[in-house]
Amino acid sequence: MEGDDMKQQSIAISAAAPRADERTREHTGADAAQAKVTSADLYRAAWAASIGSALEYYDFALYNLASALIFGPLFFPSSDPALGLIASFGAYFIGFAIRPVGGILFGALGDRYGRKFVLMATILLMGVASTLIGVLPTYASVGIWAPILLVGCRLLQGLGAGAEQAGAAVLMAEFAPPRRRGYFAALPFMGVLLGTVMAAAIYFALVRVEDLSQTQLWRVPFLLSAVIIAVAVWIRLRLRESPSFARLEARKQIKESPLRHLLRSSKPTVLKVIGLRMAENGGSSIYQSLAISYIATATGLKGQIGPLALLFAGASGAIVIPLAGLLSDRIGRVHTYRIFAVYQLLLAFPTWWVLSLGNATASIVMLCVTLAGVWGMFATQGALLPELFGAQHRYAGVAVGRELSAVVAGGIAPLVGASIIAWATTHWGAGHGTVLAWIPLASYVAVLSLVGVVTTFHIPETRGRNLDDLNDA
């Protein structure tokens, strides 16, 4: 009897074994199927990420230029131009202040329901908000409701932007081959340049009008956002889910609450991301927004100089960004980032001194040269930030880290800078004092750059990391 029982158990085990093997093969097969990324998939992902980045930074540069050049008299009229400028940049800051909320909300959704789903939602939210700005009534028409409506649209922009760039970075990093991840993950940031150049080119054409704020032409750039939305949605509808997230789904490793998991395990990593971006995001906002306002108000270089400077600076970034991605694949992410952060630090005082001289050609050239540091750090982040986080909370980690730093560095920087200019004007005189504001402004850029440099010494090298790893680097 005992022998018969043993025989029956053996038969049962043998029968069960193939089923277990079959489950293993199914599991492995699902992973293998999800792991296949064709060249078409890779370049479609690059286009999907780049077009979204183009819209985000088209809006970003557009709002920067509008804040510096026309939003003051249109939505925040004041007898003191400096106060109008501060109010205009205050509305600009509100859009940054809400971005962490968008990062938290959509970042968690991206780790729960997939990258593609969230990238569709964010592109629609940003695009609709930007288009609506183009139809807003001004202060002269509806009074206080004009700035309220502008701030409302800016809040919607910020919510969508809070996860758009993070999603683009995560998506491209997860699609890219490990040995060339730095290069491919940098490509979506070409969309940043495309958006910046588009906004600058349009404003360069429009500021030929003697007083743009007295015409309806200022609305045209915002209304053109609708075209970018249509293209971006069409491309993203054809996009497949990222391989890394698909494998998480196949293995049933998706977290019910990615945000809780992030806060429990990744606070140090988030702080490191914030430290890194103090240099890049702070420098970007100051040079692309405040510097344009400074050369217009302090040195009298009005009209086309600001947009023209951004136009050339954006074009130069088309060279710097892919080269920075390639360099990060060759010498590592951390070394590459540090090189560009130090570069920005060393150029802080020379740049602002040149801007204070009031020479149009020198100002344009210097902004192009200086923004190379921003472009280099920006490109390196494409692979570095996603590689820092584990697969289960990668989207939330990148989004939260990016957007908290966007408030502290990018959002507040132009507001602080405008306040510095106002303070210098009050204490040192309307003419001479405003020009001398370049000294504290340069010091501010140097401090932000130094924070980024120091942070690189506390970041592990991530080049070639397995993005299926559940733990942070």
pLDDT average, residue stretch 6-29:
40
Residue whose C-alpha is closest to residue 334's, from 179, 189, 473, 174:
473
Q: Which residue has the higher pLDDT, 92 or 127?
A: 127
Amino acid 82: pLDDT: 62
Residue whose C-alpha is closest to residue 53's, from 183, 184, 182, 164:
164
Q: Are 412 and 93 in contact (CB under 8 A)?
A: yes
Q: Which residue has the higher pLDDT, 146 or 346?
A: 346
How confident is the model over 35-56, as pLDDT tens digits? 577 888 888 888 888 887 787 7
38: region left, alpha or beta (phi > 0 left; psi from -120 to 50 alpha): beta
| Homologous superfamily assigned to 38-456 | MFS general substrate transporter like domains (1.20.1250.20)
How confident is the model over 208-253, as pLDDT tens digits? 665 666 778 888 888 888 887 888 888 888 888 889 999 998 999 9
Amino acid 59: pLDDT: 75
Q: Please, which pLDDT band fits residue 14 given cuts at 50, 70 and 90?
A: very low
How confident is the model over 277-327, as pLDDT tens digits? 999 998 888 887 778 777 777 666 665 676 777 778 878 888 899 999 999
Amino acid 337: pLDDT: 97
Residue whose C-alpha is closest to residue 131's, from 208, 213, 228, 204:
228
**Residue owning tokens 């408030």:** 407
Q: Are 297 and 85 in contact (CB under 8 A)?
A: yes
Give yes or no for residue 207 having a pLDDT over 70: no
Q: Are 388 and 273 in contact (CB under 8 A)?
A: yes
Amino acid 81: pLDDT: 61
Residue 252, φ and ψ in degrees, nearest 5: 55, 50
Q: Are 259 and 382 in contact (CB under 8 A)?
A: no
Question: Per residue, what are the HEC states of the chain?
Answer: CHHHHHHHHHHHHHHHHHHHHHHHHHHHHHHHHHHCCCHHHHHHHHHHHHHHHHHHHHHHHHHHHHHHHCHHHHHCCCCCHHHHHHHHHHHHHHHHHCHHHHHHHHHHHHHHHCHHHHHHHHHHHHHHHHHHHCCCCCHHHHCCHHHHHHHHHHHHHHHHHHHHHHHHHHHHHHHCCHHHHHHHHHCCHHHHHHHHHHHHHHHHHHCCCCCHHHCCHHHHHHHCHHHHHHHHHHHHHCCCCCHHHHHHHHCCCCCCCHHHHHHHHCHHHHHHHHHHHHHHHHHHHHHHHHHHHHHHHCCCCCCCHHHHHHHHHHHHHHHHHHHHHHHHHHHCHHHHHHHHHHHHHHHHHHHHHHHHCCCHHHHHHHHHHHHHHHHHHHHHHHHHHHHHCCHHHHHHHHHHHHHHHHHHHHHHHHHHHHHHHHHHHHHHCCCHHHHHCHHHHHHHHHHHHHHHHHHHCCCCCCCCCCCCCCCCC
